[in-house]
Amino acid sequence: MRAKLKEIIERAVGSEAGFDIMVSDHVEQGHYSTNLAMRHAKLIHQNPLDIANDFAERIKSSAPADFFEKVEVAPPGFINFWLTPSAWHGSLDDILGQGNKYGVWNIGQNKTVIVEHSSLNIAKPIHVGHLRNAFTGDSLANIYQATGYKVVRWNYLGDWGTQFGKLIVAYRKWGDEAAVEKDPIPTLTALYIRFHDEAKNNESLEDEARAEFRKLEQGDKENRKLWGWFKKESMREFNRVYKTLGIDFDIDIGENFFEKELERVISELTEKGLTKESEGGLIIPLDKFNLPVALVRKSDGGSLYLTRDLANLEYRLKEYKPAKILYVVGNEQSLHLSQVFAVFDLLGLGQGVELLHVKYGMVLGESGKKLSTREGNVVSGEEVLQKALGLARGIVQDKNPGLSRQEKEDVAQAVAIGALKYTNLKENRNSDIIFDWQKMLDFSGDSGPYLQYTYARLQSIKRKARRVDYYWPRRQLHLLKDEKELALIRAIAEYPYALLAALENTAPNLLCSYLYGLANTTNSFYEACPVMKEEDSNLRVARLKLIDATAQTLKSGLRILGIKAPERI
């Protein structure tokens, strides 16, 4: 509907000054509002109210006779629009005609975006921070895909570094093959922790670890075999957890893959005159960017994370030719990525490629403190998932005891994972989030289960509809005259723009906010406008069509957030 209004405005008065179309917070102030007159007034230095009055008349006369209910001007120069019920009926008809393609944009057509997220560390558990990272990255990948981009989902594994020297030493001294294969991540993590505990009283262990990692870098067969096994067992566990969460990756390439490219990258930097020697190491001054120097090679000749990131960046540009690369990485990596982006700029690579650091806040417990176990270690993602599942099973049993055992388990899993994802996504990604388990699984508040339950209620109505009712033509839409019905149509009409706002601001929370508002409007309609009890069969059909469009929009929005929409709860 916004697109149609924009077309009418541009046809009537042009768009040289540019303008926005806003949704009014209160219907008594209009359905839409524009700042066109104020923008234009700045160009020609005239009174915006005078311009607004002139524009309002020209816009009214340019529109179809049944489009505007009224057009009014408000200080300091806004033009407010009320659309007729007929216009909204036409909008709903268009939405129904598009079906599950409704809301799709082609903004990113013929463009590729790489979304790097999760970036799991081999032999270490998935923790709550990784969950927020994964949920954010996955939803952004879905948003880009829904707006026409080709998306490459990349898990940039932490599969290299001195920690593997420590792990090799620990495994040879205290490890057990069967234990690793049975429970890889906890076993390998315990070995790593034991190494550090033992090293407090035995400094020679650190020297052993450095020696073993050097052998690994040089291609020692035994160390390479162990490293490959650690990685294989870790990936098996990672893939199990992410399959449960419904998160997929196209690429699982980590740091090790780029080791062979590091000397070439350093030579390229040096040949372009970007590097300087400093205390035996190699640095790149970044004064131009108000950043500290970037170290690209240590004094002992060792490689660095930054050098590998540059090699990775060049590889991505060559192989995928992306328009954008999103790095979903915590705030603590801001300096590092700023240096990577600065060196990228100095190299003059990939003109027109946008690099974006997508930051996110911490995950806190209900006390407002960082989630942790009694030992002070970060809570594992598995622990959080199992707690959510346990709570969801109890809720589903109370709400719908008639479901089969398998149905209960499927619904509980959808509800638990939906609750986790929505809790992580509904806040501004730069804000910390608090795990309030009661609110997270509340079926009446701003939560994933509330959205899922709203969808399930609509599906329940559709199941009860008589087949003859349900498939009547859409011409009955003109009977939707109640303000609750029209408010719901207006809410559905905003879905594409909520998706667009989430894209433009790299902010899944904007889509969450929209869906929560849509669910509230849906439930207001549900309470005020009976469907199956409506005696007028024509009006009943029209309301069923409205429910169709609403359910499709809710399901589509939840899917983009990575949340399943169960048919029954």
3-state secondary structure 43-75: HHCCCHHHHHHHHHHHHHHHCCCCCEEEEEEEC
Give every CB contact of residue 248 below 8 A, 6+ residues apart in sequence: 153, 242
User: Strand 363-364 relative to strand 433-434: parallel, antiparallel, unpaired?
Assistant: parallel
**Interatomic CA distance for residues 32 and 72, integer angstroms:** 11
Q: Which of 117, 127, 408, 426 is catalytic?
A: 127
Sign of CA dihedral 132, 134, 138, 141: positive
Active-site pick, 40, 89, 117, 130 = 130
Alpha helices in 321-436 (DSSP H): 334-347, 381-399, 405-425
- The single-letter DSSP state of residue 304 is -
List all residues 6 or more positions away from 372 whose beta carbon is below 8 Å from its beta carbon.
365, 378, 379
Are the CB atoms for 452 and 569 separated by under 8 Å?
Answer: yes
The secondary structure of 149-193 as a DSSP string is -EEEEE---B--STHHHHHHHHHHHH--HHHHHHSHHHHHHHHHH
Cis amide leading into 75 (omega within 30) = no
Q: Is residue 478 flagged as an active site residue?
A: no
Bridge partners of 71?
Answer: 81
Catalytic residue from among 124, 150, 478, 484: 124
Measured CA to CA in angstroms, residue 346 lies from 121, 216, 289, 304, 319 at distances of 30, 33, 10, 19, 21
* Active-site residue, 130 included: yes
357 is catalytic: no
Active site residues: 124, 127, 130
